[in-house]
């Protein structure tokens, strides 16, 4: 494989040599997740412990701009070296990637590199090529995460691959519209806008008219009498009137703010013939600003415009990936991920697929079985759909 190295920089002392490659063959494909290879060496006789940070902006003044950040822990033995591969979504407006290496909270390396963007997905070959291809790979270079194959629209297979890698390629073909010589029973396409519209129509809960209607009647009936007394120089009744209704307003606001501060929808698509991977969609809307965390590496399905404030942070620990973001009042956000294995796909009541779900996910619905359930936890309501396919 021909690798275009954006930079190769030497750091004296802890940190060693850092080499970074963004995208297959150094070609970062827009609107998909690309692999980023980071090579590190430690030339010192003592261990190196720190963290690697990747960051970049997406969008434009027209679309709005947002920040993407990733934090990955690094540990190197004396005179050791390592190479890590991390997923990185490249969006329109992603012109540069900033790479930083920290030790003890202090920066030991920082460099911003330009990205070589590709608007269309690539064609690759595993083994001797049978035609014109963009990237030539060996079977040992194939990743175990199908998400990292998203930049490819087609992979020509002319060599033997392991059974585990066969499952990876089948997941890539089913969930990410990849094409190869491996047969799959179906392939899906998905979009975030129908789920976003569904969440936009949610309301925390209807007004308590049984409380509001009598309160409004008493307020209007009493207001005239109080104002007439106030005009004659008696301000005591007006003060009591304002205190009572201000207290009622604050009580009602606190009561309603505690009702469903966050509502989310989770959709899981499971193939009974490929239980090694599943695809999940998650959408959430909140009625107050709230920091939210999702276990796993989630990719945002962005709207056409209005990207400002849609910042996102990924962190890695011994428990795996975690995605962190902020939900602002009345502004839905929609994400997806490819998960290993399947969740509790047997729970829920069998229902016909709602219209918004049919528009969000294009699958052979005549073969699908949909389960639906609703959960409540800490005042947060979650609606769960599980789509079972052959």
Alpha-carbon span 178 to 139, nearest angstrom: 17
What rounded mean pLDDT belongs to the chain?
A: 85
DSSP string, 149-190: GTTEEEEEE-S---HHHHHHHHHHHHHH--B-SS--S---EE
pLDDT digits (tens, 9 = 90+) for 86-115: 999 999 889 899 999 998 888 888 889 899
In a domain, 296, yes or no: no
Confidence of residue 231 (pLDDT cuts 50, 70, 90): low
Q: In the prediction, which pLDDT does 10 show?
A: 35
pTM score: 0.82
How far is residue 153's CA from residue 176's CA, in Å, rounded to a whole number? 9
- Residue 60 lies in domain: 7-118
Picking from 118, 146, 165, the residue at the C-terminal end of a domain is: 118
Domain match, 114 and 90 both:
yes
C-alpha 237/C-alpha 157 separation (Å) is 86
The pLDDT-based confidence of 124 (bands split at 50, 70, 90) is: very high
Q: Using 50, 70 and 90 to split pLDDT, how confident is the model at 13?
A: very low
**Structural domain ending residue among the three candidates 77, 101, 118:** 118
The strand ranges marked E within 23-180 are 28-29, 32-41, 48-60, 64-76, 81-90, 96-103, 106-114, 117-118, 122-126, 135-137, 152-157
Give percent of the chain above pLDDT 90. Answer: 61
Give the lowest-confidence range in 35-39, 198-202, 247-251, 253-257.
253-257
Assign 227 a pLDDT band (cuts: 50, 70, 90): low
CA distance readout (Å), 86 to 17, 177, 317, 342: 18, 21, 13, 23
Tally the domains of the chain: 3
* 16 and 30, same domain (yes or no): yes
Helix (H, G, I), strand (E, B) or coil at 107: strand
**Better-predicted residue by pLDDT, 232 or 367:** 367
CA end-to-end span of the chain:
36
pLDDT category of residue 341 using cuts at 50, 70 and 90: confident
* Co-location of 132 and 217 in the same domain: no
Residues 135 and 100 in one domain: no
Q: Assess whether 44 and 17 both reside in one domain.
A: yes
Return the higher-pLDDT residue of 385 and 224: 385
Other beta carbons less than 10 A from residue 216's beta carbon:
11
Shared-domain flag, residues 28 and 106:
yes
The reply to whether 25 falls in a domain is yes
pLDDT band at 204 (very low <50, low <70, confident <90, very high): low
On whether both 171 and 222 belong to a single domain, the answer is no
| Rounded Cα distance, 58 and 337, in Å | 19
Do 56 and 88 belong together in one domain? Answer: yes
Identify whether 49 is part of a domain: yes
State the Cα angle at 229 between 219 and 236, rounded to 5°.
80
């Amino acid at each position: 494989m021909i690798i275009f190295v954006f930079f190769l920089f030497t750091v004296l002392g802890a940190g060693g040599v850092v080499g970074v490659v963004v995208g297959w063959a150094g070609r970062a494909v827009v609107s998909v997740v690309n692999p980023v290879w980071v090579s590190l060496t430690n030339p010192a006789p003592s261990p190196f412990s720190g963290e690697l940070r990747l960051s970049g902006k997406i969008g434009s003044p027209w679309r709005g701009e947002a920040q993407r950040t990733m934090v990955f822990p690094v540990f190197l033995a004396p005179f050791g070296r390592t190479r890590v591969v991390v997923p990185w979504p490249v969006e329109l407006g992603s012109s540069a990637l900033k790479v930083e290496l920290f030790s003890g909270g202090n920066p030991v390396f920082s460099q911003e590199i330009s990205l070589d963007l590709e608007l269309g997905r690539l064609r690759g070959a595993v083994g001797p090529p049978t035609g014109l291809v963009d990237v030539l790979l060996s079977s040992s270079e194939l990743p175990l995460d199908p998400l990292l194959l998203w930049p490819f629209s087609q992979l020509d297979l002319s060599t033997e691959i392991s059974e585990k890698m066969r499952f990876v390629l089948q997941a890539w073909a089913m969930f990410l519209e990849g094409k190869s010589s491996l047969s799959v029973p179906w392939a899906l396409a998905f979009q975030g806008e129908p789920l976003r519209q569904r969440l936009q129509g949610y309301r925390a809960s209807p007004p308590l008219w049984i409380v509001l209607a009598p309160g409004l009647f008493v307020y209007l009936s009493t207001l005239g009498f109080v104002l007439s007394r106030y005009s004659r120089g008696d301000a005591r009744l007006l003060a009591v009137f304002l205190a009572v209704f201000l207290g009622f307003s604050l009580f009602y606001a606190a009561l309603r703010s505690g009702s469903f501060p966050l509502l989310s929808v989770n959709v899981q698509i499971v193939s009974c013939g490929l239980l090694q991977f599943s695809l999940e969609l998650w959408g959430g809307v909140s009625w107050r600003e709230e920091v939210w965390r999702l276990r796993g590496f989630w990719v945002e399905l962005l709207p056409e415009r209005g990207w400002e404030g849609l910042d996102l942070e990924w962190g890695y620990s011994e428990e795996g990936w975690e995605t962190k973001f902020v939900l602002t009042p009345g502004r839905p956000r929609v994400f997806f991920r490819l998960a290993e294995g399947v969740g509790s796909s047997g729970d829920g009541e069998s229902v016909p697929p709602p219209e918004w779900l049919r528009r969000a996910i294009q699958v052979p619905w005549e073969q699908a079985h949909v389960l639906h359930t609703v959960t409540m936890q800490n005042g947060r309501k979650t609606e769960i759909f599980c789509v079972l396919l052959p």
